[in-house]
Amino acid sequence: MGSKLQIACPHCGSKDVFYSCEPKCCFNHVCEECKGTFEPVTEALGGRRKIVPPDPLPDCTEPAVACCLCESVAVYVDEDGVLVCADCQATLRLELTELAPG
């Protein structure tokens, strides 16, 4: 089974980050610790594999990212740490952009 996305704050390393917006707008995340912000994006690794979504599914304030191929937000982490889109099965790599310190 896949697990929920966990993103460490690129400013201070805290895992206490939350998703402050909604997928139809942007992927702005805020760090509870240092109030820094960032937006995660994905890059396709070129592979395909199946992933079972975690149970329970993350709620809407937990870290989220869109698949760069199909724009689905059903992106989860496989047992070996690789991100996989549950909709199109693409394997993905996480990148953090729009870094702004708090």
User: What's the CA gap between 28 and 37, in Å, rounded?
Assistant: 7
Site size toward Zn ion, by CB under 5 A: 16
Q: How far is the CB of 11 from Zn ion (least distance, A)?
A: 4
User: Look-up: residue for tokens 């990148």?
Assistant: 95
Q: What angle do CA 56, 62, 64 make, to 5 degrees?
A: 100
From the CB of 93, what's the least distance to Zn ion, in Å?
13
Contact with Zn ion (CB under 5 A) among 57, 60, 70, 100: 70
Residue 40 touching Zn ion (CB under 5 A): no
Q: How far is the CB of 29 from Zn ion (least distance, A)?
A: 10
Q: How many CB atoms lie within 10 A of CB 4?
A: 16
Tokens found for residue 4: 């929920």
Binding site for Zn ion (CB under 5 A): 9, 11-12, 14, 31, 33-34, 36, 67, 69-70, 72, 85, 87-88, 90
